[in-house]
């Protein structure tokens, strides 16, 4: 069902978000947004041999923010780090069958969250190598 301004796909992910939670021994964590601005997304990734084998999230925010997070985790799982870095906000929005104009920033957050999580992963890798 579609409700309000959202596509059926958005609603589906909003009502049944995939991959909610945390990864205990995450390879990288990305956090974007800030509750004061209405939304905050925290993304956990597990990377093995350069491939994202697991992803989980917690998000505080509107329907689009939750659905974007959920969709993002689905999209990056199984991808290489390089592939994941190429995911654009447009791709997330498109996978959700579109977002209302005022909600585009939610898909931008998703894009930023994966970039940050990968950055964190690479940083940790460097630290490990550096040791």
Residues noted as catalytic: 37, 106
Q: What's the count of helices (H) and strands (E) in the chain, helices before strands?
A: 5, 3
Contact 73, 41 (CB under 8 A): no
Tell whether residue 97 is a contact of other proteins (CB under 8 A).
no
Q: Toward other proteins, which CB reaches closer, 40 or 114?
A: 40
CB 5 within 8 A of CB 26: no
- The reply on whether position 58 binds other proteins by CB under 8 A is yes
- Which residue, 22 or 50, is less far from other proteins as judged by CB? 22
Identify which of residues 26 and 55 has a Cβ nearer to other proteins in the complex.
26
CB of 102 to other proteins, least distance (A): 4
Residue 101 in the binding site for other proteins (CB under 8 A) = yes
Task: Show contacts of 83-91: CB within 8 Å, 24+ apart.
Answer: 84/52, 84/114, 84/118, 85/114, 85/115, 85/118, 87/111, 87/114
Tell the smallest beta-carbon distance from residue 83 to other proteins (Å): 25
What minimum distance in Å lies between the beta carbon of 17 and other proteins? 6
DSSP 33-67: EEGGGTEEEEEEEEEETTEEEEEEEEEES-HHHHH
Q: Does 63 bind other proteins (CB under 8 A)?
A: yes
Binding site for other proteins (CB under 8 A): 3-6, 11, 14-15, 17, 20, 22, 26, 29, 31, 34-42, 57-63, 65-66, 100-103, 105
């Amino acid at each position: 069902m579609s409700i309000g301004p959202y596509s059926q796909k958005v609603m589906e992910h909003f009502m049944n978000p995939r991959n909610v939670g945390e990864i205990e021994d995450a390879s990288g964590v990305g956090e974007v947004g800030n509750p004061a601005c209405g939304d905050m997304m925290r993304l956990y990734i597990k990377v093995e041999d350069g491939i994202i084998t697991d992803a989980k999230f917690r998000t505080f925010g509107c329907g689009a923010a939750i659905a974007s997070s959920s969709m993002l985790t689905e999209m990056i799982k199984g991808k290489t780090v390089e592939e994941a870095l190429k995911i654009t906000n447009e791709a997330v929005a498109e996978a959700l069958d579109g977002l209302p104009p005022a909600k585009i920033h939610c898909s931008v957050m998703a894009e930023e969250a994966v970039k940050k999580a990968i950055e964190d992963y690479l940083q940790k890798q460097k630290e490990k190598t550096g040791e």
